[in-house]
């Protein structure tokens, strides 16, 4: 199968591209390298430096590549940046998705895999959050993902395009940048390694569902053949408080620093974790990596030469 991955130079898109290659697929990419890095792209993969906000250039890429599937990871995923610049965030996350849908329909792409987020649910009304939970985002980022999902579903049905939305919990793993959505693991790791105090917003007792990037890469492989018309929560189903997370990251790197607590941000959510049974039933997927295993893998993959020698 030929797959075009948007956002291939980013944290998660690059892992998904690797998983597709490992499964024997032909992968091409599209990215602006605005938050991604050329070094993240798997060796030998052709990447078009095109912005999804430019419909004509986007269409030219799809016409030239003729992929069977488009996997759409490109987004403005920096929540505080979108909060400051909502117009740009909506242009990338929503209008960019519309541009992609229109080009996919015109160029006869078979399937679009849209990447969504736990942010669509906002402050959960019940836990664990399943896919029937209403959309109630508390920030423009979550709103852009909720609207993107709805656009994909409506447009795909009328254009005869198969689609699946994957709603990620908080993702962590190698190549993550501290500032992106869910970047708390990376921010703790880099702070501890630099000998700085990790920053925790609020009192650190807020919980999240931390899922390892390698597990999500497998879900993207499953979604090539399964889950048409569906939207799936992808997490571990395990709540972890930010204070617990800091202790776990600290164990993985073998360094402890007392955190500095800073005030919560508007829209911050108290508790969130997923019910992932639908993904298990319909995609045949479940997270297999425990937080401790994932953090050990992350620490090993990002170890400085001096850390490795210890
Ligand atoms: N990291 C998380 O915890 C998390 C959680 C839920 C959902 N997501 C979603 O997963 C996807 C990937 O996130 P990530 O953490 O890898 O972020 P990332 O910033 O590392 O990756 C995004 C990629 O998209 C590219 N990009 C940005 N704007 C573009 C544009 N206009 N045109 C083309 N390319 C563009 C960037 O250069 C980057 O390579 C995003 O859709 C994000 O919303 C991430």
Per-residue pLDDT tens over the stretch 175-225:
998 766 568 999 999 999 999 999 999 999 999 999 999 999 999 999 999
Q: What is the pLDDT of residue 41?
A: 98
Instruction: Specify the pTM.
Output: 0.96
Q: Where are the domains of the chain?
A: 2-169+212-234, 172-208+237-274+288-309
Residue range 172-208+237-274+288-309 forms a domain whose CATH class is alpha beta
> Taking the CA atoms of the chain, what radius of gyration do you get in angstroms?
19
Residues with CB under 6 A from ligand 1: 6-7, 9-13, 31-36, 51-53, 73-77, 92, 96, 115, 117, 168, 170-171, 180-182
For residue 57, give the DSSP letter. H
Give the model's pLDDT for residue 188: 96
pLDDT tens by residue, 245-303 = 999 999 999 999 999 999 998 778 899 999 999 999 999 999 999 999 999 999 999 88
Q: What pLDDT, on the 0 to 100 scale, is given for residue 304?
A: 60
Distance from residue 305's CA to the centre of ligand 1 (Å): 29
Residue nearest to atom 42 of ligand 1 (CA): 77
The atom of ligand 1 lying closest to the CA of 53 is: 31
Atom of ligand 1 nearest to the CA of 175: 20
In the chain, % of residues over pLDDT 70: 96
Q: Hey, whose CA ends up nearest to atom 23 of ligand 1?
A: 7
CA-nearest of 67, 22, 28, 62 to 44 is 28
Residues 6+ apart with CB under 8 A from 139: 79, 82, 83, 119, 266, 267
pLDDT in tens, 138-173: 999 999 999 999 999 999 999 999 999 999 999 999
Q: Known catalytic residue: 155?
A: no
- Closest approach atom of ligand 1 to CA 40: 39
Mean pLDDT of the chain: 95
Predicted confidence band of residue 305 (pLDDT cuts 50, 70, 90) = very low
Percent of the chain with pLDDT over 90: 92
Q: Among the CATH numbers 3.90.228.20, 3.30.1330.200, 1.10.150.20, 3.40.50.720, which is that of 2-169+212-234?
A: 3.40.50.720
Say whether 172-208+237-274+288-309 and 2-169+212-234 share the same fold.
no
Mean pLDDT of 56-63: 98
The whole-angstrom separation of Cα 109 and Cα 82 is: 30
**H runs (alpha helix) in 49-203:** 55-65, 79-84, 86-90, 96-106, 140-159, 184-194
Catalytic residue among 20, 121, 141, 155: 141
Which residue minimizes the CA distance to atom 21 of ligand 1?
Answer: 10
């Amino acid at each position: 199968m030929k797959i075009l991955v948007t956002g291939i130079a980013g944290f998660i898109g690059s892992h998904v591209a690797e998983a597709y290659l490992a499964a024997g697929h032909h992968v091409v990419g599209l990215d602006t390298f605005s938050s991604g890095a050329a070094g993240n792209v798997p060796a030998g993969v052709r990447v078009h430096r095109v912005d999804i906000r430019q419909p004509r250039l986007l269409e030219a890429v799809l016409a030239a590549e003729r992929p069977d599937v488009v996997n759409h990871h490109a987004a403005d995923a920096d929540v505080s940046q979108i909060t400051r610049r909502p117009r740009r965030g909506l242009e990338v996350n929503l209008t960019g998705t519309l541009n992609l849908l229109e080009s996919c329909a015109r160029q006869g792409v078979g399937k679009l895999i849209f990447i969504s987020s736990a942010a669509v649910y906002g402050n959960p009304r019940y836990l664990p959050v399943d896919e029937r939970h209403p959309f109630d985002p508390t920030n423009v980022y979550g709103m852009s993902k909720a609207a993107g999902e709805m656009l994909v579903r409506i447009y795909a049905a009328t254009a005869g395009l198969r689609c699946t939305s994957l709603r990620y919990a908080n993702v962590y793993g190698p190549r993550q940048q501290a500032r992106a959505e869910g970047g708390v693991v990376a921010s703790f790791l880099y702070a501890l390694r630099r000998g700085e105090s990790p920053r925790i917003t609020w009192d650190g007792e807020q919980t999240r569902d931390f899922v390892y990037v390698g597990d999500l890469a497998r879900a993207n492989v499953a979604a090539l053949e399964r889950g048409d018309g569906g939207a799936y929560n992808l997490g571990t189903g395990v709540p972890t408080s930010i204070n617990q997370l800091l202790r776990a990251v600290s164990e993985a790197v073998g360094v402890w620093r007392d955190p500095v607590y800073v005030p919560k941000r508007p829209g911050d959510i108290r508790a969130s974790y997923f019910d992932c049974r639908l993904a298990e039933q319909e995609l045949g997927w479940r997270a297999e990596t425990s937080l401790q295993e994932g953090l050990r893998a992350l620490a090993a993959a990002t170890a400085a030469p001096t850390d490795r020698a210890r």
